[in-house]
Chains A and B, each alone.
Chain A
Amino acid sequence: MSDTSPDATGRQLPATPHELIYPEPPRKTLGALLGSQKIAPWLFLSPMLAFGAIFFILPLIYAFYISLTRWDSLSPPRWVGLDHYKYVLTMDPVFWKTLWNTMYFAAGSIGIGVPLAMVLAHAFTRSRGQTLWRSIYWLPMITNVVAVAYIWKFVLDDRYGLLNRALGVLGLGAPGWLTSPTLALTSVVLIFVWMQLGHNMLLFSAGLANIDESCYEAARLDGANERQLFTEITIPLLMPTTLFVLITNFISGLSYFTLMLVLTDGNGGPLRSTTVTGLYMYQMAFSDLRMGRASAVAYVLFAVILVITLIQLRVFRRGGVEAH
């Protein structure tokens, strides 16, 4: 913006009228300098840059350093190199179990949650009383996770839970929804689907609103029925939204563990059946005080998520090209 700066060819630019009026510009005060167009953007950015340095870049480096040491946070750390990574990947049977649980949780919540959200969004978009439906379906997603966990702990309690007492009236058995090692993780998946349904419905209904009504009219004129409209128009045109929902849900599913932590008082039981890798890391760090190994687990999980995300993006980009 300086009046005499050379242009791309190195030629001096002619002075602007501004300079002609004030041949001697007023002396710049510090305030004017800070408020100038050159300095101001950096001042606007300064909180972000400071935060990025202290709470983003530094932690990433620091966490990697911690992962190369044995450290209980009370006595000084001891350098162990890559030992934690070696242990976690080759010797720790629990890690692989938690990774399996993580995959089961992420895939299960997508497999059940995404189709459900799509169908409900489809019903919701062309119905009366949208504000009412929306408020109802969004209730769980604006509720804190402690309330969600205890709502379901009370409903699903083995003996005194509403559900099992109701099943008892009907003469049916009383499954240990949250106490059976084979059933607990599936129950967690279902609770999570319940929590996330409103969010995914919203994304789908935003995608549905973007579909041009004339597509449907043209198809109707050609004699398509409602089912064909859904499978031949809605689903293909909703593809970008679906991909977005799938990818974001999968990433967040792989890193999620708060619900399991609160539901199981932090122990990931019964028999570690609900211990996902994030929770395993959290227990290791803040219950067992193994900061080094926990940081290694965090980085391994991050690497897994990164690889899966890249594969997904690749596969979907190919699929996306074909869809259009």
Chain B
Amino acid sequence: MAIVQDRKFLSKAGTVLKYVLLIVGAFIMIAPFADMFLGALRTPAERIAQPPVYFPRDPQWGNYLRVFTELPMLRWLGNSLFVTAMVTALQLLTSAMAGYALAKFQFKGRDILFRSVLGAQMFPFFLFLIPIFFILRYFPLFGGNDIFGQGGSGFLNTYTAIILPFAVTWYGIFLMRQFFIGLPDELLDAARLDGAGEFRIFFVIALPLVLPGLATLGIFVFVYQWNEVIWTMTVTRTAPDLQTIPVGIYLLRGAFIDQSTRSLQQAALGISILPVIVTFLLLQRYYVRGLTAGAVKG
């Protein structure tokens, strides 16, 4: 009897410990975020006050409006939205097409291709930064280039340079293949007997059946691309009109020099993460699937 009570006490203590742990962790996750959103509302004096002021006494809501008049916020947001939408659409299409071919057709070289897709994921992105930059610059017949890629600036300083390197991803192809492989072959064969062409079968029958897969990949690509910094920064450093919101805020860092403009910086950064948070909260169950799809099953 004593042992049982002892164990009950221990498991109760374990439960308390568990929630204490989760709450402390949650505080460490949220407090810095709140500091950014609240920092945008603090007066310059509150920003450096000692003892520190966490919650502003007289919130400067105007800062969230000032960013739209004093910074090219709408331009940045528009660019982010355009680039993200284009990349998401392209990647959904190319991944679905390739994933479908690798899952549902028998042809010579299929297994080698699929293994190459898996292997290609092992190559880190930094290996491609320099060569792709110059491939885009010397792309023949575009941006004033002649057939040898000389004479102009190729795709540099265009949206194409931001978007094209993300048009296909090996991860996306892998993920879509996993979703297509579950489709019954009989369904596709029945359509073939009815005389439907392969493209019709793909767009009318197969694609609608993997909508959850498309949603998973879509939210994944959306979050990734909205947050993409290193490539976009590299190709738009000299083209302010093309910069997305995180890149624009980073490259304009020299303008945020005093406590008042730093509140603006925090407001702009706060706005930059809102679209992702909203999308994510609405669709997070699809995101889980995308992240765990690559993991081994226990």
Contact = CB atoms under 8 A, between A and B. Distances in A.
Contacts of A237: 298
B131 A142 contact: no
A183 interface: no
A286 B234 contact: yes
Majority-rule SS of B interface residues: helix
A257 B223 CA distance: 19
Given A44-B202, A138-B284, A146-B229, A55 B107 contact: no
Interface string B205-243: 000000000000000000100110110001001000000
A203 B51 CA distance: 40
Interface in A136-176: 136-140, 142-147, 150-152, 154-155, 159-160, 162, 165-166, 168-169
Contacts of A155: 32, 35
A301 interface: yes
B284 to A, nearest CB: 7
A31 interface: yes
B277 A142 contact: yes
A147 B37 CA distance: 11
B227 A144 contact: yes
B170 to A, nearest CB: 8
A45 B98 contact: yes
Interface string A59-79: 110110010000001000000
B98 A162 contact: no
Contacts, number: 267
A94 interface: no
Contacts of A139: 29-30, 33, 277
B296 A244 contact: yes
Nearest to A297: B126
Given A210-B298, A244-B295, A261-B230, A165 B36 contact: no
A186 interface: no
A261 to B, nearest CB: 7
A207 B223 CA distance: 24
Contact of B291 (A203, A257, A306): A203
Given A207-B298, A244-B295, A257 B135 contact: no
Interface in B123-178: 123-132, 134-135, 164-165, 167-168, 173
B98 A142 contact: no
B75 interface: no
B26 A240 contact: no
B223 A281 contact: no
Interface residues of A, number: 101
B168 A152 contact: no
B298 A41 contact: no
Given A202-B288, A241-B295, A302-B124, A133 B11 contact: no
Nearest to A262: B250
A40 B200 CA distance: 11
B118 interface: no
Contact of A134 (B25, B33, B247, B284): B284
B200 to A, nearest CB: 7
Majority-rule SS of A interface residues: helix
B54 to A, nearest CB: 7
A136 B295 contact: no
B48 interface: yes
A136 B26 contact: yes
Contacts of B21: 119-120, 123
B11 A32 contact: no
Nearest to B120: A56
Contacts of A198: 29
Nearest to B169: A51
B196 to A, nearest CB: 9
A135 B284 contact: yes
A294 interface: yes
A47 B298 contact: no
A52 interface: yes
A37 interface: yes
B35 A281 contact: no
A105 interface: no
A127 interface: yes
User: Which 10 A/B pairs are nearest by Cβ-Cβ distance?
Assistant: A35-B197, A40-B198, A59-B131, A44-B101, A255-B124, A41-B105, A210-B298, A144-B227, A51-B168, A144-B246
26 contacts: A35-B199, A41-B101, A44-B98, A47-B97, A48-B94, A52-B116, A55-B128, A55-B165, A58-B135, A120-B22, A137-B26, A142-B223, A142-B277, A145-B227, A147-B273, A151-B32, A151-B269, A154-B266, A159-B48, A169-B50, A206-B295, A240-B298, A243-B296, A244-B296, A295-B131, A302-B127
Interface of B: 7, 10-11, 14, 18-19, 21-22, 25-26, 28-30, 32-33, 35-36, 39, 47-52, 54, 93-94, 97-98, 100-102, 105, 107, 110, 113, 116-117, 120, 122-132, 134-135, 164-165, 167-168, 173, 192, 197-200, 202, 223, 226-227, 229-230, 234, 237, 245-247, 249-250, 253, 259, 262, 265-266, 269-270, 272-273, 276-277, 280-281, 284, 288, 291-292, 295-298
